[in-house]
Structure 1
Amino acid sequence: GNQSGIPYSRGFECFDERFLGKPLVYCGTLGTIPVEVGGRPSERKEIEVGDWVVMCGGRIGKDGIHGATFSSEELRTESPAQAVQIGDPLTQRKLYEFILEARDTGLFRCITDNGAGGISCSFGEMGKYSGGCECELEGAPVKYEGLQPWEVLVSEAQERMTLAVQPEQRAAFEALAKQRDVEVAFMGTFNDSGYFTVKQEGMVVASLDMNFLYEDGCPTLDMPAVWKAPTVEAPVVPETADFSEVILALLSDLNLCSREYKSRMYDGEVKGLSVVKPFVGSQADVPSDATVLRVDYKSDRGAVLAEGINPWYSDIDTYAMTTSVIDEAVRRVIAVGGDLDRIAILDNFCWPDPVESEKTPDGAFKMAQLVRSCKALYDLTTLYKTPAVSGKDSCKNDSTRGGKKISIPPTLLISAVGQMVDVNQAVTMPFKAVDDMIYVIGETKAELGASSYYRWLAEQQGAAEAIGGQVPEVNGEQALSIYRAMNGATRQELLQSATTPTKGGLALALALATVGSGKGAEVDLSAISEGAVTALFSESNSRFLVSVKPDDAAVFESLFAGLPLILIGRVNAGEVLTIHGLATLDRETMRNRFKATLQGV
């Protein structure tokens, strides 16, 4: 992100041996666009017969050939290295600046990126709007000689865009490209022939019916899905434990510890619009629930970015996994002050092969897991009114190593983008002032199935798969009421701090809020749950840990009348987090354990 001038805002890592089946890399980007461009709605795609088919940006090479195919099949030793694209951030930056200037001066009519399938997809997809297109491959800029026509067509080499340029704008378009040092190629024209035609030196090398490509050419598959809830043993939960040591162990767990060392290699300040940064607190070393950026330099309006992911819940129930990660992403936005009514999400599915075959005898079960996940996505997004505006899927995340098939756990990343009217009202995780009152909002239930604590405990007991139990569910109606009350508290500036307990439960949320505060805290969780393990480590959804000034407590509590709200303690001037009867933790010891695991890695 540094060389192309894009600020790093969010980041995470999940570790599980099953990702040896195919390591996953998720990336998401948020941009802004004028409501209207050239007097018409910016989201409208229009192409007229006779418009030029133009490719601009980087050159075409063998890198990225079959990248989409590579991501949609089992990883093998024969998988081609050339499927991975070679990036060039400086070319990307020049291209972006050129595109924006060309957009604002009306030099093109329509645009799409060259992603999966390269120009074979971008040219054809844009041709839908006019009814066809014809292109000449010899006009394509290439990195080197010797590329076959099909390679030019399907290469996914990076930093390239396809545009529809009006005939009368060609000269101005080329002049701007030369001025901005961006390579452009006029490779053909859009027409209404009903065909996507490709030529090489005047000879037709491909001609496909547009209706076949985009309407009825793809057969519908009939794939079985059979759901049977898996039987997953639970770990043996000890009656007594040194919870201080357990919390320290979780703070240093590979899936819970700090990722600050790696994150600091990226620039989160470029453009100077960040408000709530990736790390917050007195030493700026505690990860924020969400990040907030101004939408521009002259406005206090903000964009809020957050995410939810928890592949381990899938070992028990993908429906609960899906509702949990949607709720996590949404409540992270709410925690920093995002508006519940202005949240959209992206759903990115990565799944093991769900097609039943000799190599995948459990395909029907994996398909049922996918069906349950999709059903959950529909159920909760329609209830929350959070549209899924984009996303993708990859359903062949498996490999065979040493004769053993390795499949990733069903994994869904939900990215959430929200808005807030005034970034000056943004709230962060760490406790702020001595004597502030600490509350837990939401119900804490005995929902520890596949939790961070159960997974840690199972490993300690030498039974890593014994993580069974109730996976957190979502009470959507209650959650919405809580989120609206949180929005009210933010707008009235009643919250000193706010965070949402996720992996590791209240124990980890309290620990990090204390570490980031430079202060101490004393809390009593006996009103949360009769069981210490549930009170500390349950990962129940739709909860918040907040702190409030004593003078604001009455107004704050009135906002949550009729909702689950428990006062658990106060912030103090000490250096210790005290959880009555359960744990006593030194702030700097927690910080050191949290940061040590991946420091330098």
Structure 2
Amino acid sequence: MLWHLEIRTAPNHPDSTGRRLAQEAVESGLPGPWRATAGRGFLVEGNLSATDLEEAARRVLVDPVVEAFHVRPCPSVEDDAGTVVHVTPKPGVTDPEGESALGLLRDLGYAVDGARSIRTYRIEGPADQLPRLIQRVLANDAVEQVFRGSLRIDRLGEGQAYNFELITVPIRAMDDAALVRTSKDGQLSLSLAEMRTIQGHFAELGRDPTDAELETLAQTWSEHCSHKTLKGRIEFEGRTIQNLLKETIFAATQKLSLDWLVSVFSDNAGVVRFDDEYDVCFKVETHNHPSAIDPYGGANTGIGGVIRDALGTGLGAKPICNTDVFCVAAPDLPPDQVPAGVLHPKRVLKGIVAGVRDYGNRMGIPTVNGALAVDPGYLANPLVFCGTVGVLPRGKAFKSVEAGDRIVAIGGRTGRDGIHGATFSSVELTSQSESISGGSVQIGNAITEKMVLDVIVQARDRALFRSVTDCGAGGFSSAVGEMGAELGAVVDLENAPLKYQGLSYTEIWISEAQERMVLAVPPESWPELRDLCALEGVEATDLGEFVATGRLTLRYHDKVVGDLSMDFLHEGRPLVVRSASFTPPPERPIELPESQDFTADLLAILGHWDVCSKEWIVRQYDHEVQARTVVKPLVGVREDGPGDASVILPVAGSNRGLVISCGINPRYGKIDPYAMAACVIDEAIRNCVAVGADPRRIALLDNFCWGNTERPETLGSLVLAAQACHDLAMAYKTPFISGKDSLYNEYTHDGKSLAIPPTLLISAIGQTPDASRCVTMDFKRAGNLVVVVGSTRREFGGSLWSEVRGVEGGAAPAVDPALGSALFQALFTAIQRGLVRSCHDLSEGGLAVALAEMAFAGGVGAEVSLRDVPCDDDAAVDAALLFSESPSRFLLEIEPDCYGALADLFGGLPLGRLGETRDGADGEPARLTITGLDGSPVVDSTLSALEEAWRRPLRW
């Protein structure tokens, strides 16, 4: 029997969800008026009566204070079929709410076979707009099914028994056209050269591949897993680059050869020394394509996946904090400008924020750092970066696999969600991606992952396994294939626990269903590990054995369904050979205006999406859980100012801190990708230094997100950015320890392609010897001095001032790393000596924005002059001094009697005394007043007006 338990807001209680939906309908361009009521509930299948379910609802499923409920059988008939909409996950899609309800009901003794969550809406509005409302607001067709009116189902439909059939792909008889078609139709994302290589390999073996073998090669050889473009051969400007990663990013780290690096570019995350007892690791991943299809699910599993990266580093690091960075189109974009098959940017942003929020909060891991970048190029390809920092005991950073070790899977069960996720991430999106690739979107369950985390940490400390990795892209195929690369493995696929029946052996092998880890377990340790997992309520299964055969053998009920040479799997992919070129845009100098009142310009920049308050996002995250976060993402007198970096304490009882920051600026990438990469590296480092990090102990992570690198111009910009990473890492002595690329971020519709701007996220992890000496960016009190350090140049290419003024041209800011290094070291020393009360880096919007942010964050005004701003001669105009985005600059607040010591410390470096912090005079509100070179005011505003402009855009 199937029952529908509908749970609604109780009478006399506000239906906030219904009101929000009505508002979102209008925001999505659907003419109203709209009224909506919203309810949640469950479809429950089993041998129970309506009375049983009503009793269970009262006991555990319904809050009797604010909710009411109703139980009805399915199929059900609605009185007004045109206004009722039911939305439920599609069969096979992970449903954490349904799984939780199922577990609760079974624990209470009810005979329940299955449960699925469901949302029910009653809509009043234009009937002809209802289909668009469903598509734009109520449901996501990639992972959800919709019933209008009656619930016309009588069973949950969780699959039928699988009838085994060994499938072979007749690749040896295919011509080139058939090879290309097979790759495309099967979502393999393999090039013709790769298909030919596979064809030749199996021709030598005298047989055709099974579907499992072909899928294994596709996952392992995918751009997502093998990074074949960055590791391939590139012809660029008359020279040959054999391996872009090795010759740039890897090379810099190797040349620096720093003794505090533990494990770099060889595991799921990079590992650095922290103190005598602990190491720390850091990894940042992208989850772009899935988030374009299902923002919530894509971001949810993006953060879940990178948490598992930390958990799978060495012998298991305990995650202690998360980061996130989002790139979207303007959330206020008119709905009629959104192409077919593309979700509105506001819906995307809300979904990805909620996805990260729910996973991190439910696991009890604080989200402490992030950013938001807005550009039209992200309309069809939003970027979602998720990072995790973990801590692990010294000596636990390395792992091994030995012949005879058992292949053990622990955690969540395997389903069809996430099939072809790796290969899907290696192609361009189209208007059909949602319908074709919906199965590539995984759905996470944070509670399951928290239980897995607890088991891994305990098992690590008991030495119950020799190696561990996560089931990320490619599922078991990648995890087992990588762990057994130097030996071999035999896998019995029928042993894998399934969410539901009906999965084929190939689906079991390549599914990216979430919350699963694979361990290499000595046979003698397996019973103890199994008992530990049972005690913690985590499913653990023996899938097979690592063997010294050099082959990957897949079996299904004793039938061999795959048999691949490990050497061919990992070394057989043909080398990618591409040409790259780059033509810089023509130089167009920007004419700066004469001295005038620039207050309106400052207000406009403060209201820009990239600068405005992100409090709406940050407040949704628990950034204080675990009680480690000592400098939080929001700082100031009301804890709402935009902090430069966060500081956490990884080790209880120690004041030594980790500093987490990032740098991103895609606007520069459109002009000069080398300058863009240099600037975001400088930004990530100076954000760390601004709060008190030691510039000699900062490590970097790179995340390249680019368009189709088969185009020479696109690849050329990537080459230049990678070269900048090498040069700046060497100059600043900041090694790269990990990274990730995401290519083919383009959307094709009606023969036209929309590519993202070249985007490089740099994440930084620094250390401070004493977190109690760290500073924040908010002004602390009136009467202190305001000091700027660093040199200002006339650099407006890609600047926010140019954007709000509507002017184009100019050069992107250029980094002077020799000057930057000296400034960073001097500032670190000044902070350690207690000379600095407040510090804020100068980035988007330049000096004017930094002054405004420090003032309203601290509730203290300032009166300053531009006359003593250190600058090049061509920058000696008010507009440049106010809004130039030259790098390596900071704004400081210091006590008046500290200026002499500070000046001595910065001797010979650019430093200027601008003015003083001030309270409002005679009871008047505090103001920010900036006078120009001729002594006349160029900015004059109350702090409240500045703050209002800054808060308005994301006051949702």
CA distance in 1, matches of 2:412, 2:808: 49
CA displacement 1:533-567 (0-9 Å, x = unmatched): 11011110111101111121111111100111111
Residue aligned with 2:753, SS: strand
- How far the C-alpha of 1:404 sits from its partner, in A, is 2.3
Q: Is the 8 A contact 1:232 1:467 kept in 2?
A: no
Q: Residues of 1 paired with 2:385 and 2:422: CA distance?
A: 15
Q: Which residue of 1 aligns with 2:614?
A: 259
User: Counterparts of 1:566 and 1:202 in 2: how far apart (Å)?
Assistant: 77
Counterpart residue type for residue 113 of structure 1: D
Cα deviations across residues 348-385 of structure 1 (Å, max 9, x unaligned)?
00001010xxxxxxx11111101101110111112212
Aligned-partner residue type, residue 389 of structure 1: I
Q: 1:142 aligns with which of 487, 498, 501?
A: 498
Match of 1:169 among 525, 536, 556: 525
Q: Which amino acid aligns with 2:928?
A: L
- 1:248, 1:590 within 8 Å by CA — same for their partners in 2? yes
Could you tell me which amino acid in structure 1 is paired with residue 640 of structure 2? D
Q: After superposition, what is the alpha-carbon deviation per residue over 1:241-294, rounded to whole angstroms, capped at 9, x for unaligned?
A: 431111111111122111101221111111111111010011111110000011
Alignment of 1:456-475 (within 5 A): 456-458=804-806, 466-475=807-816
Deviates more, 1:235-244 or 1:79-88: 235-244
1:149-298 equivalent positions in 2, closer than 5 A: 149-214=505-570, 216-231=571-586, 233=588, 237-298=592-653
Letter in 1 for 2:715: M
CA distance in 2, matches of 1:456, 1:114: 45
Q: Which has the higher contact order (CA 8 A, sep 6+)?
A: 1
Structure 1 segments (4+ residues) deviating >6 Å: none
Offset, 1:4:
0.6
Q: TM-score, normalised by structure 1?
A: 0.95
Structure 1 segment 109-124 matched on structure 2, within 5 A: 109-124=466-481
Counterpart code for 1:486: L
CA deviation digits over 1:157-190, x for unaligned, max 9?
1111111111111110000000000111110111
Partner amino acid for 2:552? Answer: F
Residues 64, 85 of structure 1: 8 Å contact kept = yes
Match of 1:478 among 801, 819, 824: 819
State whether residues 670 and 757 of structure 2, in contact with CA within 8 Å, keep that contact through their aligned partners in structure 1: yes
**Code of the aligned partner of 1:51:** D
1:549 to 2:895 alignment: yes
Which residue number in structure 2 is paired with residue 462 of structure 1? Answer: none
Shift of 1:119: 0.9
* 1:348 paired residue number: 703
The alignment partner of 2:469 has SS state of strand
**SS in structure 1 of the partner of residue 494 of structure 2:** helix
Q: Which residue of 2 aligns with 1:491?
A: 832
Question: Higher Cα Rg: structure 1 or 2?
Answer: 2
Q: Partner residue of 2:423?
A: 69
1:516-595 pair list within 5 angstroms: 516-528=857-869, 529-574=875-920, 575-580=926-931, 581-595=937-951
SS in 1 for 2:678: helix
**SS of equivalent to 1:219:** coil
- Letter matched to residue 577 of structure 1: L
**Contact 1:21 1:400 (C-alpha < 8 Å) held by counterparts:** no
> Is 1:27 paired with 2:402?
no
C-alpha deviation, 1:78, in angstroms: 2.9
Alpha-carbon distance, 1:296 to partner = 2.4
Alignment correspondent of 2:68: none
CA RMSD of aligned residues (A): 1.3
Q: Deviations over 1:198-223 (max 9, x none)?
A: 11111111111111122x31111211
Q: Which residue identity does 1:527 align to in structure 2? A: D
Residues 397-446 of structure 1 show CA distances to partners (whole Å, capped at 9, x for unaligned) of 00123442100001000000111111101110011122211111110000
1:10: Cα distance to partner?
1.2
| SS state at 1:10 partner | strand
Which of 404, 418, 423 is the equivalent residue of 2:771?
Answer: 423
Instruction: Give 1:40-119 correspondences, 5 Å limit.
Output: 42-79=396-433, 80-119=437-476
Q: Tell me which moved more, 505-514 or 261-270.
A: 261-270
Q: Tell me the CA shift for residue 234 of structure 1.
A: 5.7
Distance 1:183 1:383 in 2: 49
**Match of 2:454, SS?**
helix
Give distance in 2, aligned partners of 1:208 and 1:470: 53
Instruction: Specify the SS of the correspondent of 2:393.
Output: coil
CA shift at 1:386, angstroms?
1.4
Deviations 1:464-487 (A, max 9, x none): xx5321111111111111111011
| Higher deviation after alignment, 17-26 or 524-533 | 524-533
Instruction: Give the conservation status (yes or no) of the 8 Å contact 1:439–1:565.
Output: yes
User: Where in structure 2 are there 5+ consecutive unaligned residues?
Assistant: 1-359, 870-874, 921-925, 932-936
Give yes or no for contact 2:408–2:519 (8 Å, CA) kept in 1: yes
In the alignment, which residue of structure 2 is the partner of 1:397? 745
What are the Cα deviations for residues 303-334 of structure 1, in whole angstroms up to 9, with x where unaligned? 11000000110111100000000010001000
The answer to which structure has the higher helix fraction is: 2
Alignment match of 2:662 (pick from 304, 307, 313): 307
Distance 1:310 1:106 in 2: 44
Residue matched to 1:365: 713
Q: Indicate the residue corresponding to 1:13 in structure 2.
A: 372
Displacement of 1:240 = 4.9
Query: C-alpha distance in 2, partners of 1:149/1:183?
Result: 20
Measure the CA separation in 1 of the matches of 2:674 and 2:765: 22
Q: How many angstroms apart in 2 are the aligned matches of 1:523 and 1:402?
A: 54
Distance in 2 (alpha carbons) for counterparts of 1:33 and 1:564:
41
Aligned residue for 2:270? none
Measure the CA separation in 1 of the matches of 2:587 and 2:616. Answer: 36
* Cα displacement (A) at 1:232: 6.2
Q: Secondary structure at the match of 1:12?
A: strand
Q: Are 2:761 and 1:413 aligned?
A: yes
Aligned-pair identity in percent equals 42
1:451·1:467 contact (CA, 8 Å) conserved in 2?
no
Paired position in structure 1 for 2:185: none
Letter of the structure 1 residue corresponding to residue 947 of structure 2:
R
Q: By how many angstroms is 1:237 displaced?
A: 4.1
**In structure 2, what is the equivalent of residue 463 of structure 1?**
none
Alpha carbons of 1:443 and 1:540: their partners in 2 closer, same or farther (altered >3 Å)? same
Which residues of structure 1 form unaligned runs of 5+?
A: 37-41, 356-362, 459-465
Asked if structure 2 preserves the Cα contact closer than 8 Å seen for 1:233 and 1:468, the reply is yes
* Residue 394 of structure 1, CA deviation: 1.1
Once the two structures are TM-superposed, the CA of residue 236 in structure 1 deviates from its matched residue by: 5.7
Distance 1:159 1:399 in 2: 30
AA matched with 2:372: E
